[in-house]
Structure 1
Amino acid sequence: MNLFDSERRVVETAERLAATLGTDPNHTVAAATMDTSGRMHTAVNVYHFTGGPCAELVVLGAAAAAGAGPLLTIAAAGDQGRGLIPPCGRCRQALLDLHPDILVAVPTSSGPQLRPIRKLLPDTYFFPDANARRIVRFNKRYYDDVAAGYKTVTVRYDDPIALGAALFVFEDDDANRTLNGTVTSVERHQLDTLTTDQAKLPVGADVNELRSGLQKHYPDMPDDAEVNVVTFSLDTDVIPGDTDQ
């Protein structure tokens, strides 16, 4: 997926820090990550023959020490002009367990791209006791409707969303607004046979318009794709407009 401006800044921050390295062989990779308040956290690797940590793991600790909470995006870059580099297998597993909804910047022939961490480590073991706080992303144009309680359903393709408490994040929002909520149900249906009732659309809504909108948002989605119809609610003790870490 293409990068928002805020996500691009994560890559640029990692690359700028990497450009300052190169004189110490024990520190050769820089990492940057962004939390849900828009704060950037940075770190470098600590090479050692006993198995010193990669920059991605160090930056997870740095973010935790700053009280960051769940993280949105992470990138790593190598010294001496190596540019953006993908995480190793150990880092991928740690990211999946500790921040299962994080997006990871990886190099491609067309420039940096974002990948959900689960896409970088398919069919893997998932550590059940990690107790990671989950994130549900929304386009920022939906903030007012979600905050007011008008929007309580979202339909997703190839975007698993877990039941239970979650932090609702509005992507590339300059105000970095978030809302606390709960995912109350996830129902799986086939897109080409999806009905108005299954999609939980309001009276008078056209399910064909929903299908058309989804196919524009997910251009690679087949006509007979399985989609998740997700219902959610806001926590009643949270004032819309407040942010929470």
Structure 2
Amino acid sequence: MEPLESERRVISAAESLARTLGDNPNHTVAAAAMDTRGNIHTAVNVYHFTGGPCAELAVLGVAAASTAGPLLTMAAAGDGGRGLISPCGRCRQVMLDLQPDLLVAVPGDDGPVMRPVRQLLPDTYFFQDAAARRVVRFNKRYYEAVAAGQKTVTVRWDDPITIGPVTYVFEDHPQSPTLEGDVVAVDRYTLDTLTAEQAKMSSAADVTTLKAGLQSHYPNMPSDATVDVVTFTVRQTSS
């Protein structure tokens, strides 16, 4: 998928920092990562024959030192005009374990594209003890409905969401608001047989509109795809 405006800022931050490198062979790659508050953290690699950290791992540490919490986007760029580069295998595994909902910028035929980190490591081992904080993304237009408790169900395809505590983020929202809550149920159905009751909607017309919207949002989704109906709550903060 093409980068959102906020994701392009992360790519730009990595590429800008990479352009300042080149005089020191021990620092040849820059990385940038954005947290749920819209803050962008940057770092460079530390090359050493014993296995110094890549820039992507260094920026994980920088973000942690700033108590950034879950990260949404990562990008890395090489010195010498190499531009955007893909993460190595070790970095992919670490990012998957510590930031499982991360979107990673990688070079594509027509420019940068965003990939869920899990797609960069298909069939990989997953380190469950990492206890990573999970993130659920929404379009920014849903913020008011989610915050007010009016929207409590979302239907997803090829977007694994697990039961438990989560942080809700609203992509490209100008204030970068977040909400805390819990996913309380994930029910799996096939799209072509999905009913209004299963989708927790009021009518057949509503579920027909939902299916059309899903097909538009996921253009590669087959008509008989398996989808997840995710039920969630928002925790009310005390005033």
Q: Same fold (TM over 0.5)?
A: yes
Q: What is the alpha-carbon root mean square deviation over aligned residues?
A: 1.0
* SS of structure 1 residue aligned to 2:182: strand
Contact kept in structure 1, 2:33 and 2:41, CA below 8 Å: yes
2:41 match: 41
Instruction: Name the CA shift for 1:115/1:70 in 2 (closer, same or farther; >3 Å).
Output: same
Determine helix, strand or coil for the equivalent of 1:215: helix
Aligned to 1:233: 233
Please show how residues 167-206 of structure 1 align to structure 2 within 5 Å. Answer: 167-203=167-203, 205-206=205-206
Answer whether contact 1:180 1:238 (CA < 8 A) is retained. no
| CA deviation vs aligned residue, 1:8-57 (integer Å, no higher than 9, x gap) | 00000000000000000000000000001111100000000000000000
Q: How does 1:51-70 map to 2 (within 5 A)?
A: 51-70=51-70
**Residues matched between the structures, number:** 239
Looking at structure 1, the residues matched to 126 and 238 of structure 2 have their Cα atoms a distance apart, in angstroms, of 31
Q: Shift in Å at residue 2 of structure 1?
A: 1.1
Worse-matched range after superposition: 204-213 or 125-134: 204-213
**Which residue matches 1:4?**
4
1:73 is paired with a residue of what secondary structure? strand
- In the alignment, which residue of structure 2 is the partner of 1:87? 87
Taking the aligned partners of 2:127 and 2:96, their CA distance within structure 1 comes to 9
Specify every segment of 5 or more residues in structure 2 that has no aligned partner in the other structure, as ranges: none
Please say if 1:208 is aligned against 2:236: no
Partner of 1:161: 161
Listed as ranges, the matches of 1:119-130 within 5 Å are: 119-130=119-130
Q: C-alpha separation between the residues in 2 aligned to 1:238 and 1:135? A: 22
What is the Cα deviation at residue 201 of structure 1? 0.6
Q: What percentage of residue pairs aligned between the two structures are identical? A: 67
Runs of 4+ in 1 over 6 A off after TM superposition: none
2:195–2:204 CA contact under 8 A, matched in 1: no
Q: CA deviation at 1:205?
A: 4.8
- Measure how far apart 1:208 and its partner are: 1.0
| Whole-angstrom CA distance in 2 between matches of 1:238 and 1:101 | 28
1:236 is displaced (CA, Å) by 2.8
Residue 25 of structure 1 is matched in structure 2 by: 25
